[in-house]
Structure 1
């Protein structure tokens, strides 16, 4: 059976085709293939003729098993890549009757529940046979990164500088290895965030989804590496045991397990709480606590001011901001019902958070009714937009722009969630909402975006949109627009940042802007149930909402060129190019669990999921 769409043909079959090109599995792991000598006649992406110095390691260590299946597959591919060949043979059985090589293949499945398919225990999968290595006809030029994945950052990459104190938005992108220095000007690395320039850390909390604890510890300055760290995570059973095992060499690390009482939810919140001798700070961000997320991906963060301690004897309600950020942060932390967080709740009460000018938008697992329905998820966003924005003339033409790194199942047609309750939230401005004609532009990388990225195909390991989900919602792909960020220098640094906003038709103004951990999914944002009398949220998520009214403005102007950074600009630094560019007919959204072999990536490799 096949399904045609404007973005290619997907083939679904029993996969009984000929597999003569495959070899039986090797008894010993194959050695990483050596990159063949250059042949300038072969088509290839442009590669810097003066590549940066490579970290040479005689034998790369095994990949740390962390994160989603997609991330684990990407880690495996980085260590043992499959090199591009003129007629590559790919592992596994799959249908080959596609059009112009654009088909996506999927074997039959009786499981219609995508979430169950990816999370329930399954019988041990058969090991995919190693792809046959054919004689290379079109040889690839050497990869600028050699046979190991990471390259050394320039000497000045980790030079920490304080952000401009008059930067009103306090919204930053991460530093990206391999970009021109000017595109990292004003950006922050995790080493910058934890630098002594920002304060003398006494204790910290790291909320996240993925952790590489040894790497995380190394990001703290030497003088802070033995200071207590609390890790808030959602891992269970084997994953929890692996996390605890990682921390054994570090006695200063403790754990707090987030309660995930609803099936298929995740602890996806990414936040740092930093307690200094000088005060307290909150960072809400989109990066996991692993090196890959701070290397060549586009990430975003909000960094709070340094909050001073309140005078002794102040009441718990003192130090509140006009956006009620303190109240909402305390409510979010209380939702964990965790004794490990009680000391931090008390510390926050003792600090003055009144300078905060953003609103907190969080999700916590649960089923909520009555007045609790608008505490979390997209109904929380809807309430804030209703109470703190105003109707705009011609607002029907003000598009919504959403940008994310993962996509969940949204139903067989758009009205089931996206163009129903979620659109009503995103189009709310004051008392107006549910504008059915409001344009919605969804930014999500195409296959070509991933292929030509700094990381190449392994970047797709952080974009876990599955074929099982995609083939059920072909209607969604008419919303898709390309990931383009030339103004920020990040077009080829694949996005892991998640943002949502409402812009003017000419893309010069913003009605609001949100940076968050929430991807495009009902699990993250919540979904109405029981004839709209109940909302169910599966996951922990957290973001901050920028509203013009909190900055004494009617709208935000858009800063077209965020780099090089300048504090003199009052425009908002949107992290991608505007207006968004729709997918062309030949463009396909990145699907992480199908093979891509028609063209090599920037490292000369193809993508072969197990």
Structure 2
């Protein structure tokens, strides 16, 4: 690493960290922007191996654990730079050059010489040219691979499935016109397009009713069933979808499912990408192998928001991601997956694995199914039967990797295209969780937050034999690097040992044990934000101030404190009119007018959806979050990301004991466990180098104006 005399700038444009050997930052972004010669000297010979700290150091170090974390982050950054430079070719400072020059750091200068600026400009031009050439070569290869031979032409023939591929442009049509228009479009496209993503579909399965109408009705009738009260014992029915397509040759997706090596999967992937491009289907394709660095840079929170397809500003954000990135091979080779969700489009889900080049061996637990695809034998689906008015609403993923490790993902998005295109969703991705030694006890490898025990208990509540291997995988994994709490809901009237294990009582227990607020805690309002609202009762005191607010007020130093203000972010009709969903005739806000008319008192607590800071103003929020915020709008003491909307069915209420009707899953970020501080700063990086905590909406919040009304489904029938 060459340093110019007279200023703190290295030859590759990085400024030398002014704290030098005293830098204790663990913010990955800091290491991409600043040079640390004393650390780079240790990492240069360990770029591809396991990082170790030598017994003797030539600088003072009082915390070797922090040093090891810094070296791991720097290893990822430098390895990425090396690989990029190897791809670009000559003209870049090589890692070997850095290794040879880092030992002698000269004095500093005040400016970068002109010849270096010229060199940088030349290298940028070379990089662009080489990248364009590489893309052209990839296109040629994809085209050659996509040309069918006599033996594989049937692989490239697929039935029509325009449900998730063609969207209509809708302005301000009424509900009935919208349904008729989409119905007509689907019938026409059925005869014109060949799906490049789904499996072969039998014509008798095609629903002559509007799929869009069906989707709205599903959301309103199913996701909002939490507005009602009732319940019976639930169960599960299985449908492994293992039936084959008669004597026909397997379609492309079935052929992909049978690809046992990464090389074969990559070849099939290129064929499909070429068909996507040639058919004119609009779909963003992210090249695999790039996500590991983005994941490292998201430390210590590992919290992401889904990319908004129609807002290009979100495409390059460090905290934006697409579904195939979750599956990215840079995180490991997936051998099997567990998907737990509410709404499922199995064809779309399979396509995500194909685009990522990963094995599609999968067990899927779902509540409602959007498609009727006949699935290949390596995919098994189980429909979770609910009590009368409950909802299987959790959104979880677990991946097993070739190296025997696993990873857990908690999200707010359903498994179909609309939820991953132009909506605001949240996704938390766990660290890689390695397998424990065979000699380890089942209680070993626990997270400081008890995540492992709580997650295992959640899976066992399904009482499904198919989950046995996944429960075993959890038991054998080392969760010690997980720094968030798991908070879930399962149907039942919970008492005794289970009384505080679920819903808002679990949240209350965690906050009372781990959260510390200042004496002015009553001045820290509670902010709730979600995409649907249950029946909350005739007034604020019926349930919110009686159960939810007390639960979210809990802290270690409880004392006698008054309740804080309650602020509720829910999209208004104007929010929806200006959204991408409105333009495409879609909706994810299943709140009904009948329910709202019984609780109009709620309007005095409502705030608009505003998200200009994250460039998601027009991306309707399907994300669900809960937190508190300091009076100066800069700090929060905890943060919840969850599938649970604001409803009794999701969080529970006092009915005998603690009565819950739905399955839900989420996580709780508590500063003490994540950063060692008592609060998260949401505005800026802290002096110790901790990055700001990413929240999806703007603060301060924006109240509803007098003419504003919350969005209700009857909007599509002309109500405003």
Same topology, TM > 0.5: yes
Q: In the alignment, which residue of structure 1 is the partner of 2:570?
A: 444
Is 2:339 the counterpart of 1:199? no
Q: Quote the offset at 1:460 in angstroms.
A: 6.1
Quote the Cα distance in structure 2 between the aligned partners of 1:300 and 1:116. Answer: 29
Contact persistence 1:428–1:434 (CA under 8 A)? no
Q: Which of 374, 378, 395 is the equivalent residue of 2:504?
A: 378
Q: Which of 692, 701, 708 is the equivalent residue of 1:580?
A: 701
Q: In the alignment, which residue of structure 2 is the partner of 1:323?
A: 449
Q: In the alignment, which residue of structure 1 is the partner of 2:434?
A: 308
Is 2:215 the counterpart of 1:71? yes
Q: Which of 499, 520, 525 is the equivalent residue of 1:394?
A: 520
Quote the Cα distance in structure 1 between the aligned partners of 2:317 and 2:517. Answer: 36
Q: In the alignment, which residue of structure 1 is the partner of 2:667?
A: 544
Q: Quote the offset at 1:71 in angstroms.
A: 3.3
Is 2:625 the counterpart of 1:499? yes
* 1:211-290 correspondence to structure 2 within 5 Å: 211-221=344-354, 227-235=360-368, 245-246=372-373, 248-258=374-384, 260=386, 262-278=387-403, 279-290=405-416
Quote the Cα distance in structure 1 between the aligned partners of 2:398 and 2:212. Answer: 25
Larger proportion of helix: 2
| CA deviation profile, 1:438-463 (whole Å, cap 9, x unmatched) | 11110001101100112216666200
Q: Quote the offset at 1:596 in angstroms.
A: 6.4
Q: In the alignment, which residue of structure 1 is the partner of 2:304?
A: 172
Quote the Cα distance in structure 1 between the aligned partners of 2:543 and 2:424. Answer: 28
Is 2:273 the counterpart of 1:152? no
Q: Which of 228, 242, 250 is the equivalent residue of 1:115?
A: 228
Q: Quote the offset at 1:226 in angstroms.
A: 5.1
Secondary structure class of the residue paired with 1:380: helix
Quote the Cα distance in structure 2 between the aligned partners of 1:524 and 1:275. Answer: 29
Is 2:681 the counterpart of 1:557? yes
| CA deviation profile, 1:528-553 (whole Å, cap 9, x unmatched) | 123xxx01000000000000111311
Quote the Cα distance in structure 2 between the aligned partners of 1:333 and 1:65. Answer: 36
1:59 and 1:227, CA in 2 relative to 1: closer, same or farther beyond 3 A?
A: closer
Quote the Cα distance in structure 1 between the aligned partners of 2:712 and 2:282. Answer: 30
Is 2:499 the counterpart of 1:366? no
Contact persistence 2:226–2:649 (CA under 8 A)? no
Secondary structure class of the residue paired with 2:473: helix
Contact persistence 1:183–1:488 (CA under 8 A)? no
Quote the Cα distance in structure 2 between the aligned partners of 1:342 and 1:69. Answer: 38
Unaligned runs of 5+ in 2: 1-175, 196-205, 220-224, 233-279
Q: Quote the offset at 1:573 in angstroms.
A: 0.5
Q: In the alignment, which residue of structure 2 is the partner of 1:87?
A: none
Q: Quote the offset at 1:300 in angstroms.
A: 0.3
User: Which structure has the higher relative contact order (CA within 8 Å, separation 6+)?
Assistant: 1
Q: In the alignment, which residue of structure 2 is the partner of 1:593?
A: 714
Secondary structure class of the residue paired with 2:424: coil
1:404 and 1:336, CA in 2 relative to 1: closer, same or farther beyond 3 A?
A: same
1:502 and 1:31, CA in 2 relative to 1: closer, same or farther beyond 3 A?
A: closer
Q: In the alignment, which residue of structure 2 is the partner of 1:134?
A: none
Q: In the alignment, which residue of structure 2 is the partner of 1:333?
A: 459
Contact persistence 2:288–2:330 (CA under 8 A)? no
Q: In the alignment, which residue of structure 2 is the partner of 1:571?
A: 692
* 1:121-160 correspondence to structure 2 within 5 Å: 152-153=282-283, 160=290
Q: Quote the offset at 1:31 in angstroms.
A: 8.6
Contact persistence 1:209–1:270 (CA under 8 A)? yes
Quote the Cα distance in structure 2 between the aligned partners of 1:66 and 1:336. Answer: 33
Contact persistence 1:320–1:326 (CA under 8 A)? yes
1:182 and 1:290, CA in 2 relative to 1: closer, same or farther beyond 3 A?
A: closer
Quote the Cα distance in structure 2 between the aligned partners of 1:569 and 1:153. Answer: 36
Contact persistence 2:182–2:210 (CA under 8 A)? no
Contact persistence 1:424–1:434 (CA under 8 A)? no
Contact persistence 1:453–1:459 (CA under 8 A)? no
| CA deviation profile, 1:338-364 (whole Å, cap 9, x unmatched) | 111000111111111100000000000
CA RMSD of aligned residues (A): 3.6
1:595 and 1:222, CA in 2 relative to 1: closer, same or farther beyond 3 A?
A: closer
Quote the Cα distance in structure 2 between the aligned partners of 1:153 and 1:433. Answer: 54
Q: In the alignment, which residue of structure 2 is the partner of 1:602?
A: none
Secondary structure class of the residue paired with 2:528: strand
Q: Quote the offset at 1:594 in angstroms.
A: 3.5
Contact persistence 1:450–1:460 (CA under 8 A)? no
Contact persistence 1:500–1:513 (CA under 8 A)? yes
Secondary structure class of the residue paired with 2:428: strand
1:251 and 1:572, CA in 2 relative to 1: closer, same or farther beyond 3 A?
A: same
Larger-Rg structure? 2
Contact persistence 1:196–1:221 (CA under 8 A)? no
TM normalised by structure 1 equals: 0.71
Quote the Cα distance in structure 1 between the aligned partners of 2:640 and 2:208. Answer: 32
TM normalised by structure 2 equals: 0.60
1:366 and 1:215, CA in 2 relative to 1: closer, same or farther beyond 3 A?
A: same
Q: Quote the offset at 1:432 in angstroms.
A: 2.0
Q: Quote the offset at 1:179 in angstroms.
A: 1.3
Contact persistence 2:393–2:643 (CA under 8 A)? yes
Quote the Cα distance in structure 2 between the aligned partners of 1:458 and 1:74. Answer: 18
Q: Quote the offset at 1:370 in angstroms.
A: 2.6
Contact persistence 2:288–2:328 (CA under 8 A)? no
| CA deviation profile, 1:39-77 (whole Å, cap 9, x unmatched) | xxxxxxxxxxxxxxxx999579978999997833699xx
Q: Quote the offset at 1:593 in angstroms.
A: 2.2
